[in-house]
Amino acid sequence: MPTTRSFRANVLLLALGLTAPGLVMCTPATTPPTGVVHTSEQNFRVTAIVAGLEYPWSVAFLPDGRMLVTERPGRLRIVQDGKLLPQPVQGLPAIAAEGQGGLLDVALHPRYPENGWIYLSYAAAGSGGLGTEVLRARLSDSRLEQPQVIFRAEPKRRGGRHFGSRLLFDREGRLYITLGERGDQDHAQRLDDHLGAVIRLYDDGRVPADNPFVGRPGAKGEIYSYGHRNVQGAALHPTTGLVWTHEFGPQGGDEVNVLRPGANYGWPVITYGVEYVIGTKIGEGTHKEGMVQPIYRWVPSISPSGMAFYTGDKFPSWRGDLFVGGLGSEQLIRLRLDGERVTAEERMLQGVGRVRDVRAGPDGHLYLLIDAPDGALLRLDPAAK
């Protein structure tokens, strides 16, 4: 069950006819802007690649030019030559599409051309309720073959909140799985379960011996960092190779973090956010010894989802910048960096729709997924001034 305070806040939201940032909302897709979009560094046009996606969550790029798109209700779709193939990929596991849960992230193994492994994260039912699971399989035509579940978050909980769940490989081929605390705040400070943590595994699900909590009595060896609320953005820094993440705060307090092994990111003991609607304090304040401060934060909340460093050649003025999607804020945000310090923020495409995913494509373009019952895959194309 949710904590008393989170349950009370949700009751108030429902009574007022409101929905908390990050919760499922039935909003229509927004028509992409036409004409040239002018920004401080680059001008671009927005091209709709495909429409008619039902709550799309993630996109991945196959070496042959096709794209894989997950739909949260439980479908994996293929985009080929700019068209959405009518038949979804077959052979997916049983997926629990409840609340924020469903089919979530998709990622390719770093050596995909050699081994063909595709990774999916999703909400699955089991003893105690629902939880995030990760499966790998190989794509043969339009069917998944040789499926292997390599991770199951424990414990499973009832309710449909805070599943995470981005998948990211580092330069050594380790797999990071971002999780939420499933709406049960205090679990984010526990090491004896996976909730509110970032997980690090080998590509086959084995636990690396150098994970920070391996061998600690009562701790889950899969945990790499903890004290997270709901991490729905992860990207590898193109220069340092460090894992960057962002996560939802409640009402305010969205964070950008750089992951360190064994680090405690504070939720719910410290936060820059407050309870939804009622605005009461959460935890002990904004700082506490032994807990990591975010390198950047948003107050009020932007409801961040999706994250990508840009390294392509289509937009040279954006190289090295970090792009973040806004769900509730319905925008794309660009952060200019100096090391691990944010020096500037630019907000673009205000009102474009709920941006669920942001990806830098192998072709040098930026791609966005718009989360809606009639959602879309968009591409940013450079345009002259």
Positive or negative: CA dihedral 296, 298, 304, 310: negative
Residues of the chain with pLDDT under 50: 1-28
365 is catalytic: no
User: What integer pLDDT is reported at residue 32 of this predicted model?
Assistant: 80
Q: How far apart are CA 349 and CA 371, in angstroms?
A: 15
Phi, psi of 196 (to 5 degrees): 70, 30
Cα angle value 121/74/71 (rounded, 5°): 85
Q: What is the pLDDT of residues 152-206, one digit of tens each?
A: 999 999 999 999 999 999 999 999 999 999 999 999 999 999 999 999 999 999 9
Q: Which domains does the chain have, with CATH numbers?
A: 28-382 (2.120.10.30)
- Beta bridge pairs of residue 334: 323, 346
pLDDT score, position 277: 81
**Distance separating alpha carbons of residues 71 and 58, to the nearest angstrom:** 8
Catalytic residue among 109, 162, 194, 246: 162
340: which 2 tokens?
Answer: 């691990």
14 phi/psi in degrees, rounded to 5: -65, -40
3-state secondary structure of 317: helix
| Separation of alpha carbons 21 and 5, rounded Å | 17
Check residue 1 and give its pLDDT. 28
Token pair 């995909």: residue = 112
Sign of CA dihedral 343, 349, 354, 360: negative
